[in-house]
C-alpha cells in the first residue's frame, strides 16, 4: 500500500505529505473556533494522529501512514451534529489608568471616541478566544466591535510590558510576557496567563468567552496574582 496521502475529500485539504487542514467555518466565527478546538481535543486521542492544533475555525492534523481519514471524518461529523457546549464566561480584570495604557488617548482619538467611551466599550465586549499563538498563553480574542477596530501601529514597540491589554483589527489581546508588539496598548491586567505547573497551563482556551472588567490603579498594584473570575 502506498504511503502517499489520498485525494482530498471536502472539507479536508492536504497541506503537505502528512498534514491535513479541516475548516469548520469562517475565521471570525466563534462557534467554528469552538468546534475546531473540540475536534482537536478528540483527535489527539487517536493512535495515528501525531499532532493537532486549531485556530480561527480551522484544525491542522498531522497523521502517520497510511493516512486514513475515516476516524477524522467521524470526529468532524460528531462535532457538526451537536451544538458546542459553551465555556463559562471568564472575567479578567484590567486597569485602564493612563499610567499603564500608553496608547489609550491616541487610540480613542483615532476612533473618534472619548477615553471613557473607549474604556466602557472595551469592558462591555464579550470576546471569544479564536486562537493561541505568538507566545505561550497569548490568546487572540475575537469579536471586537467595528467601532473599536484600528490597524496595527505603523511602528511596533521593541518591548511591550507583560499584562498589557491591546487592540488591533478585529481582536483584543493580553501580552503574557514582555515581548515586541505592534498593537495599541489601552490597559494592563495583573492576571498571570500561564501556570506551567497547572493543567491546562494557559488561562485561555480556544472557544472560551472572555470579558474584561475595570479595576483601579491601586487595585492593580495590590492584586493577588493568578486570579480571574469565572
Residue 172 belongs to a domain with what CATH number?
2.40.100.10
In a domain? residue 169:
yes
Q: Which three cell numbers stand for residue 109?
A: 482619538
Task: Quote the pTM value.
Answer: 0.85
For position 225, what pLDDT does the model report? 66
CB contact set of 126 (below 8 Å; sequence gap of 6+):
89, 143, 209, 210, 211
Distance CA 126, CA 8 (A): 37
**Residues 60 and 167 placed together within one structural domain of the fold:** no
Question: Could you identify the residue written with the cell 501556570?
Answer: 195
In a domain? residue 229:
no
For position 3, what pLDDT does the model report? 55
Domain boundary among 81, 99, 122: 81
In a domain? residue 5:
no
**Residues 45 and 103 placed together within one structural domain of the fold:** no
Low-confidence ranges of the chain (pLDDT < 50): 1-2, 6-9, 230
For position 150, what pLDDT does the model report? 97
**Residues 104 and 205 placed together within one structural domain of the fold:** yes
For position 15, what pLDDT does the model report? 92
Write the DSSP assignment of 93-132 as a string of letters: EEE--GGG-TTHHHHHHHHT--HHHHHHHHHH--EEEEEE
In a domain? residue 100:
yes
**Residues 76 and 94 placed together within one structural domain of the fold:** no
For position 1, what pLDDT does the model report? 40
For position 180, what pLDDT does the model report? 95
Structurally, how many domains does the chain consist of?
Answer: 2
For position 228, what pLDDT does the model report? 58
Q: Which three cell numbers stand for residue 117?
A: 467611551
For position 2, what pLDDT does the model report? 47
Distance CA 61, CA 18 (A): 8
In a domain? residue 149:
yes
In a domain? residue 187:
yes
For position 5, what pLDDT does the model report? 52
**Residues 148 and 208 placed together within one structural domain of the fold:** yes
Question: Could you identify the residue written with the cell 471570525?
Answer: 28
Nearest to 63 by CA among 81, 75, 79: 75
Which residue segment(s) compose the domain that 120 sits in? 90-222
User: What is the tens place of the pLDDT at every residue in 56-95?
Assistant: 999 999 999 888 888 888 888 887 787 777 778 999 999 9
**Residues 60 and 39 placed together within one structural domain of the fold:** yes
CB contact set of 167 (below 8 Å; sequence gap of 6+):
107, 122, 144, 148, 149, 150, 173, 183, 184, 186
**Residues 54 and 103 placed together within one structural domain of the fold:** no
In a domain? residue 4:
no
Amino acid at each position: 500500500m502506498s504511503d502517499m496521502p489520498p485525494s482530498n475529500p471536502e472539507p479536508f485539504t492536504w497541506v503537505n505529505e502528512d498534514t491535513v487542514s479541516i475548516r469548520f467555518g469562517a475565521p471570525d466565527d466563534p462557534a467554528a473556533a469552538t468546534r475546531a478546538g473540540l475536534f482537536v481535543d478528540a483527535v489527539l486521542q487517536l493512535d495515528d494522529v501525531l499532532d493537532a492544533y486549531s485556530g480561527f475555525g480551522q484544525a491542522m492534523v498531522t497523521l502517520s501512514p497510511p493516512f486514513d481519514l475515516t476516524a477524522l471524518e467521524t470526529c468532524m461529523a460528531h462535532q457538526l451534529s451537536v451544538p458546542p457546549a459553551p465555556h463559562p464566561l471568564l472575567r479578567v480584570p484590567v486597569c485602564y489608568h493612563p499610567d499603564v495604557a500608553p496608547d489609550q488617548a491616541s487610540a480613542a482619538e483615532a476612533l473618534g471616541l472619548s477615553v471613557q467611551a473607549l474604556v466602557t466599550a472595551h469592558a462591555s465586549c464579550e470576546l471569544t478566544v479564536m486562537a493561541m499563538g505568538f507566545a505561550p498563553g497569548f490568546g487572540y480574542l475575537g469579536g471586537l466591535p467595528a467601532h473599536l477596530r484600528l490597524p496595527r501601529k505603523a511602528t511596533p514597540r521593541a518591548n511591550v510590558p507583560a499584562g498589557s491589554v491591546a487592540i488591533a483589527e478585529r481582536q483584543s489581546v493580553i501580552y503574557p510576557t514582555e515581548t515586541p508588539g505592534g498593537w495599541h496598548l489601552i490597559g494592563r491586567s495583573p492576571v498571570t496567563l500561564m501556570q506551567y505547573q497547572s493543567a491546562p497551563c494557559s488561562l485561555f482556551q480556544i472557544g472560551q468567552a472572555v470579558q474584561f472588567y475595570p479595576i483601579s490603579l491601586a487595585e492593580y498594584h495590590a492584586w493577588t496574582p493568578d486570579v480571574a473570575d469565572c
